[in-house]
Structures are given as structure tokens and as C-alpha cells.
Structure 1
């Protein structure tokens, strides 16, 4: 297969990727109709202007009639007024359509992203996803609202202009048509280069966003290690890479436009010479030549516009492909089509049966192996063991962020794969070791546990979490903005806000991942008291590295390398497990030593 034929196929496929975008335009058919109507009116008026020019020259200037000149000028003013009104309508309607469709695409992409399985975000950069959500949709908005309109208008003007050229003078029209192939060749050649460079440019912008986002997010680490200058140089390098790609793309587009304009107006210059000779010899009137020049310039400008818009459409095709790839991803974690009703009265609320699990990003390393576990309702279960033992993985499988490769997770004696995803997660409340807060006020962050909760319920939850006192001391109390990821709060304060959120949710199963690890001794004492009240008649799973916090748990599970190697109460494990006894000795001896030092 020849390379030129392959290029044509690739170009066709790239433009075909724009077709699904029209599904977002379909709901606004009436606006599209009015926009096309305005487009047709402006095109018709534009084409009529050439005849107006002919009439002014032949019946006004050359005929020497003042009355005819006034009539011709008046008709021209009416046409120009219609053109202005039509242009306003076309521009407004197409711009509105572009903004509306762009907003709909953004919502569709965000709705898709927010439901994707967590492993997708392990394998794909957040900066690239954000680039698709912002930069790519903005480009499509520009295409639909502006470039597409320009392409349609220019296509109509090109076809209409050629028709009017034929009507005005066939001989001169042949000169214009003869140059068309020479103009189309560079469009086809450089169009492919522009498309490839546009895709590279979008990727480079995504790289910049990812890099900058990571640095800003971890600004304290950067400044702590005095890496400001290093990161400045590194970021400048990323920007320069993107600029180099953009510069090459701009160069190719500029070259394309320049060649098209040169060839087009070169053809007009030759046509003017031939037409001028015909006027001098009496074969055509000055008005006919004026009208012909008007239509020739119109055709030339239409070709130049199409060549420019062609590059934009190539870029849009790349953006459409990236967005559609995202929209077509099927989440690996989904609610079944016909979920079973939740049972509430089973004695064992949670059960892990013959479980093997490998993270998608680490397919050769087992996070859990041959794990079996039964958790009775209303009990406090503690998970202890070294880092990487699989404790947090159990929490993630229980909330169905992942599905195990082997075995099953049961909730109330039902496989959670057969239950509605939202209902399973709604019955659980999670307080992570590193709490996540949103860039909003205190109300929003606590009420995230229950968006329908009253102010009184939010305050009550904050009091139970021992957060109410410090919240009142914030500049605007519960209305205080906490900054990105709660940057305005200390670690302990963030933890108590997260705990208040879980208390407000009032879940059936409480998941605590070192929930008191960031608290000082006094706050920990109060929060532990609140947790003990909260854990009454509620199933609670606690991940703990500080064994002193789980001595009174109903059952302690000792995990290592993805397996439960021992289980029992604190006293039972002290007697039966060498590893547990050693962990206790290390922690309690260190605690005693610290107490002596202090």
C-alpha cells in the first residue's frame, strides 16, 4: 500500500473521529437550524454584493447617472445591513452552540471519570486526564463555535463564488479553476504534519500540567529540601519542550497559509491582467471586471480560510479521539444490571472466602493470598502487622474499589459483586490514616458524610469528634475556607474533621485506618472515648500500628505478607504469637523509654 494512500485513510479516519461529537449537538437541532439559516442568508448577501459592485460601476460611475448611483448605493447599504444582522446572528448562535456543547462534553467526561475504577488512575496520569477535561474540550468548543462555522461559510462562499464567476465570465473562471489543484496540494501535504504536531503539542501541555500540579501539591517538601531552583529549571525544560513542539506546529501552519495565499492571489493577479486586457479590447465592461475581481477575492479568501480551518479541524480530530477514548472506557467495577436486595439480619456481616488479590499495577506480587476471614456483626476487629501486610487492601476490597482475582467478599452473606455498588459503600464509613479534605468550608467537609444533614447534626458530629472547639476558633467558624486539601489545618485537626464526617454518615461498618495517629495525647484520649461510644452496636475494623489502641478489641488479626498468621485477643496473641509479642515489646518498651526521658 502506498504511503499517500495510507495518509488519505489516516486523514479520513481522523475526521471520522469528529462524527460522534455530533451526538452532543443533536439535542440543539433548532439552534443549529437557525445558525445554518443565518449562514445561508449571509452567504447569499455576500454573493449579491458582487452584483451590487457591478451595478454601481456600470450604472453609476461609467453611465454618469447620479440617480442610478444613489439607487445603487442605497441597495448596497441595504445588503450590507442585512449582512451585518446575519453575521451577528450566525456568530452568536454558533458561539452559543460551541459553549453549550463544550459544557455538555465536559460534564460527560467528568461523569465518566468519577465512576472509573481506581486502578485506572494508577495506570494513567491525572494531568493527562485534566488536560482532556479542560484543554481538549476547549479546543472542541472553538471548533464547533467558530472554526466549523467558518468552514461552512467558506465552503458556501467558495461554491457560490465559483458559480458567480462562471456567470460573470467563463474565460476568466477557467484561469481561476486551473489554479485550484496547485492550491489543494499543499493543504493535503502540510495538513498531515499539522495534525501530528497538534497531537504532540496536546501531550506536551498535559506533561506541563502534570509536572506543575505535582510540584504545587508537594510545595512544602520542595521548599524543605530547598529545591526551588532545581524545580524552576526542570519546569522551564518542560515548558521549552512544549514550546518547541508548538513552534514547529505554528511554523507548518504558517507555511501552509502563506503558500495558499501566495498561489491564490498569484492566480488573481494573472486573472486581473487577462481581464484588464479584455476591458481594454471591449470584450467585457468595467463593472463585470469589478464583480469578477470581487468574486475572485471571495473565492481566494474562502480557500485561504478553509486551509487555515483544515489545520484546526486536524487538531480537533486529535482532541475528539482522546475524549472519545476516555468516554468509551468501561469501568471494571460496576453495579450488576439486576442487583440483589440487601439482607440485614445475618449474624456474620463480613466474610472473605479463599481470597487471592493482585493489584493491577503489580500483577506479579500477591497483596493477599488464600485469605479466609469471618467478622461477626457488632464486633471490634483490629488488623495489625508490618507495613505491606495487606491490611489496607482488605479495606479496599471491602469497599469494592477492586475485585479479587480469586475468591469472594461477602456482606451479610451476599457476594458484594451481586449488590448495588452505592448501597454497599453507603453502609461503610472510612476514616483514612491521611484524611482527605476538599477546597471548601468546614460545613461542606463534614457534611460530605451526609449531604442532607442539618447544621445541628453537623455540629453534633464535630463535638463527638472533639473538633467543635478548634472549629469555633477559626476566623469564620464553620464557614471558614480550609484551603486545598485542608492546608490551613494541622494534621490532628484534619483527622478530627474526617472523623466527624464518618460520625455524621452513621455507617453500619466503621473502617478506621490509624484514625487517631495524628492526634496529640489529650485529643487522642477524648477521641478514643468518642469512638468507644460510636462503636457500640456497630461493626468496626481498625488498622493499627500502635498496639496500645487495640488492646481491648474483640478480635485481633495479625497479618504478614498478605496472610492472617494469627488471631485472637491481646492476651491470647501475647502467649501464642512470637511476632505479636515482639511487636508489643518493641512498642511498649519504646513508650516506657520515652516516658522516662520526658
Structure 2
């Protein structure tokens, strides 16, 4: 019985061919044994030496133009080196005009390199991620989610629009309270106010109205109760519908993200670390959820309340409204400045305390080592240093917040002062349009409109974070894998013999594309043959097995199973016919 033979053709292996002793074939299945400590010594040994070192000692003339430009840019950072280059360039004979041109160009390069805007960054540019449009964040919503969101939007608009109605009732209450004060001064309700020569006078009222201010206020209170219950109902509908729709959408997004991550080829995981993927599954999805849950109806209700209050204030007393709104931008700016200061220095405090906590945790976990080296004083100094940093940050935070609050209160009370100074003037001169209730209502409406506008910033921040996180998450969800183990595509042969062949295979790992692991490897492994791959660490032994499993596809060449390229086979079918004990078992 003739023994099976093995043919090996490789640029790397041929440099140091090793003897191959054949075992008689055993069973017609694929066997891969990577354990070098096996009890049965391997008889077929393929020695795969390391890659020969590449000699990089080349002359500057052999460098490419891009490499020369990169080298020159690095040398331009040093002014002394640049001056030496200019001196050397200016000496060649027969080029009288060239030195001046090169010197001027070099001087411009030095000058521009000192400006941060023109300074070239040496860090590699990250690939740009497509920014989502606002409506694309809701791409996982079904018809029921859309219905819930529409109902929630309507409820939020109504909830915000009820505020001007409340102001209208409040105006009536205020006017009746003023009338009650008139009664206390012996001015009866059988009188009215007229304007003559820019002044207002009280004249007898002949309309015959007998309703007292107390009765009018009690009648208005009934409407207050109705508006209160309506507002509670609208807010509950708006918040609950959007929260429910957000939970349903985020659940689908989380499932689709995890499913598509599992579909990716191994090479994709080589360039994406586990921490990044965990962040996508937890933090980014939480940000998406925060951007499409109660923040949306809150923003809509704020807009509705702001517009309603502003329109009502302009209709009631446009002069007084414009006077108040002239101060409103300063109130809004100082409010948002306070929020930014709080967020910025709170993050710094958290980092400082986290560093101190990590030191404490490290010392406590290794208390025996610290005690053995008598390093308690040193560790106390490290811990105190981080606490001192947190203290400094806290002091700055308090000072800046106090300054921001001071400016905010100054502008707020300035608006109060101008409003209550100009309001009585309008009541005296334009009494047919302005009353005490009108002044109070305009003041409250302008304050509500101003504060509602200031509250837009947290919502905008949540929306921006949701769109930014959604861009990365949806990019991964839409990513098409090169080797899909969950797809039904590909051939599924009825029987398998087990002959494996590498045909001029060249391969580099995606994370280390500058290093070639296999160079034009040609290898035939007949069915039933026991083969041992022997070589130094990193020479490509495990890579050959991973190519057979189709964890990766070769850059060039083919991997054949029974004469068929494994790219044409169904991935799940292929892997189900391979038994392997790897060096990194699960």
C-alpha cells in the first residue's frame, strides 16, 4: 500500500525545507492537532521559519516622493535644521535664482507651522461618520409607535397651550382683587374708568351689573380646576406615550445591534475592541433612549408654552412686553452659562475623585505589599494630592457659579424693575388697555417665555447626543459583513472527503496590514493525513487553521476543500464539519 504524499510550495518554506515522514492514512475526516506536547510524536513536520528581516537601509534617492515630503515636514519642525537645509540648498552652482525661491517658501512654511490653524496634525484622521437626520433616529418605529408619538405630540401641544388660558383667568382674578381694594376705599362697583387728556378718572357706572368681585373670583376658580385636571391628563398622555414608544424602539435597536455584531467576521473584531462594542450596547443606546423619550414632549410643551405666553403677552400689552423682552436675552445667556459651568466642573470633580478612589482601592487591595515596604506615608501623599486637585476644582466651580448666578439675578431684577416702573405709567396713561391685572399677567408671561427658552438647551444637548450616538449605532447595524455565518447562501455538498489545499495564499491581518503573515503559500493536505505545523511563534501556524475555518479570507490565492473554493461554501455548513481544540478554548 503506497503512502500518501504531500506537496509544499512556498516562498518562505522553500528556504529551509524540512524532512517529511508520512504516516499511513487513518480515517477520511479532517484532523487538526496543534498540541506540540501530544503523546504521539508528529511524523509530518512542516517547518515555517520566521519572515526574513527587511533591510531598510536605503539611500534618500530611493525614497518615494511621499516619503521625502513626510521626512521634510518632520524636519521643518526644528528651526536650526531648517536653516542648515537652506544654507546647503543655496550653494549649488548654476542656480542663482533657486535659493531665493526656496528660502521664501521655507520661511512661509515656518511661519504657517507656528499658527495652530495651519499646523498639520500627525495623528491619523478618523473616518467620518455620516450624521443622522432628525427623523432617521426613529427608523425603528413601527405603526403603533408612530401612533403613540403623534398622540403624545398633540397632548404636549395642548399641555403647553393651556398656560395662556391660565394667564387669561389669572388676569381676571387680579382685576377683581383690585376691585376689592377699591371697595375697601369706599369706591363702589357702580363706577368705571375713562381717559381724558392723558389722565384716567372714575365715573359712575350705569350698566347695572351687580356681580361682586368675590363672586367673579369664585366663578373663575371653577375654570382653574378644569384647566388643572386637563393639564395633568395631557402631560400624562404625552410623557407615557413617548416613554412607551422609546422603550419599544430601543429594544429593537439593541437586538439589531447585537445581532449584527455577531454576524461580523473575525477581522472586524480585530480592529474593534470589546470596550468600544460594550459602550455601543449600553451607553450609546441609553443616549438614544434619552433623546427620544420624555425629552421630546417636554421640548414640545416648552415651545408651545413659550409661544402661547409670548403671543398672549403681545396681545395684552405689546409695549410692556417689548420692554421686558429687551432684557430677556441677557437672562437666557447667564442661565445657560451657569448650566455649562456646572456641567464642566462637575465632570472634572468626578474625574478627580475617581482618581483618588482608584488610589484608595489599589492600596487597600495590596495592603500587605504597602505594609511590607512601609509605604503608608507615600500612599497618603498620593491620595491627598488628588483630593487637593478636587478641592481646587470645587473652589473654582463655586466661584464661577456664584458669578454666573450674580449676573443672572442682576439681569432678572433689572427686568423686574423696568417692568414695574413702566407698568404703572401705562396704567395711568392708557387705562383703557392696561390694568393692574394686565401688568401682572404680561410680567408673568414674559418670565415664563424667557425661562422656557432657557430650558431648551438641556433638550438640545440630549437630542445632539442621541443623533451622535445613533450615527455610530446605525452604522454598525447597517454594516455588511464579508463572511456571514448566519446566511443561508453558499453550497452545501452532500458528502465531504476532506482534501485541503492552499493555492498561492497571501494573507495579512486587518489590524496589522503592514506585516505579511503568509506569502504565496501552496500546501496540499490529503484526507486522513496527520500533519504538524512547526515553527516559531507568530509564523502563521494558527493563521492556516483560521483560514480553513474561514475566519478570514486570504488577500490573494484560494483555500480549497475537495477542489472547491471555501468562499463558495455555506459558512455555517463548513464550520459544522470541522472539529478543533484551539489554544484559546471557550
Whether TM exceeds 0.5 here: the answer is yes
Q: Deviations over 1:31-79 (max 9, x none)?
A: 1011112112212222211111112222466364332221111111111
Please state which structure has a larger fraction of its residues in helix: 1
* Distance (Å, rounded) in 2 between the aligned partners of 1:80 and 1:172: 28
* Distance (Å, rounded) in 2 between the aligned partners of 1:261 and 1:189: 13
2:508 to 341, 358, 363: 358
Q: 1:346 to 1:109 in 2, by over 3 A?
A: closer
Say whether residues 1:291 and 2:407 are aligned partners.
Answer: no
Say whether residues 1:163 and 2:348 are aligned partners.
Answer: no
8 A contact 1:350–1:375 mirrored in 2: yes
* TM-fit CA distance, 1:327: 3.6
Equivalent in the alignment of 1:270:
418
Within 5 Å, give how 1:12-51 maps onto structure 2: 18-25=134-141, 27=143, 28-51=145-168
Q: Deviations over 1:352-373 (max 9, x none)?
A: 2211111122223222232223
Q: Deviations over 1:276-298 (max 9, x none)?
A: 43335563112222322331222
Q: Deviations over 1:114-151 (max 9, x none)?
A: 22232333223321221222112112212221323222
Say whether residues 1:91 and 2:239 are aligned partners.
Answer: yes
Aligned residues: 411
* Distance (Å, rounded) in 1 between the aligned partners of 2:387 and 2:130: 27
8 A contact 2:289–2:466 mirrored in 1: no
* Distance (Å, rounded) in 1 between the aligned partners of 2:401 and 2:476: 28
2:293 to 142, 145, 152: 145
8 A contact 1:343–1:412 mirrored in 2: no
8 A contact 1:168–1:288 mirrored in 2: yes
8 A contact 2:336–2:457 mirrored in 1: no
Equivalent in the alignment of 1:75:
223
* Distance (Å, rounded) in 2 between the aligned partners of 1:18 and 1:60: 48
2:495 to 345, 359, 379: 345
RCO (CA 8 Å, sep 6+): is it higher in 1 or 2? 2
* TM-fit CA distance, 1:110: 1.8
8 A contact 1:14–1:314 mirrored in 2: no
SS in 1 for 2:522: strand
Within 5 Å, give how 1:393-542 maps onto structure 2: 393-436=543-586
* Distance (Å, rounded) in 1 between the aligned partners of 2:579 and 2:560: 17
Unaligned runs of 5+ in 1: 1-12, 437-598
Q: 1:140 to 1:121 in 2, by over 3 A?
A: same
Return the TM-score normalized by structure 2. 0.58
* Distance (Å, rounded) in 2 between the aligned partners of 1:333 and 1:289: 72
* Distance (Å, rounded) in 2 between the aligned partners of 1:412 and 1:231: 65
Say whether residues 1:58 and 2:175 are aligned partners.
Answer: yes
* Distance (Å, rounded) in 1 between the aligned partners of 2:232 and 2:415: 30
8 A contact 2:313–2:442 mirrored in 1: yes
Return the TM-score normalized by structure 1. 0.57
* Distance (Å, rounded) in 1 between the aligned partners of 2:220 and 2:459: 35
Q: 1:260 to 1:136 in 2, by over 3 A?
A: farther
* Distance (Å, rounded) in 2 between the aligned partners of 1:19 and 1:190: 31
* Distance (Å, rounded) in 1 between the aligned partners of 2:454 and 2:161: 20
* Distance (Å, rounded) in 2 between the aligned partners of 1:398 and 1:249: 60
Structure exhibiting the larger radius of gyration computed from Cα positions: 2
Within 5 Å, give how 1:102-121 maps onto structure 2: 102-121=250-269
8 A contact 2:499–2:561 mirrored in 1: yes
SS in 2 for 1:408: strand
* Distance (Å, rounded) in 1 between the aligned partners of 2:578 and 2:386: 43
Unaligned runs of 5+ in 2: 1-128, 181-211
When structure 1 is superposed on structure 2, of 410-419 and 26-35 the one drifting more is 410-419
Q: 1:153 to 1:235 in 2, by over 3 A?
A: farther
SS in 2 for 1:366: coil
* TM-fit CA distance, 1:419: 2.7
Q: CA RMSD in A?
A: 4.8
* TM-fit CA distance, 1:156: 1.5
When structure 1 is superposed on structure 2, of 320-329 and 393-402 the one drifting more is 320-329
Q: Deviations over 1:379-414 (max 9, x none)?
A: 544434443232211221122221111111123432
* Distance (Å, rounded) in 1 between the aligned partners of 2:282 and 2:384: 22
* Distance (Å, rounded) in 2 between the aligned partners of 1:331 and 1:239: 48
2:458 to 287, 308, 313: 308
8 A contact 1:18–1:316 mirrored in 2: no
SS in 1 for 2:580: strand
* TM-fit CA distance, 1:16: 5.1
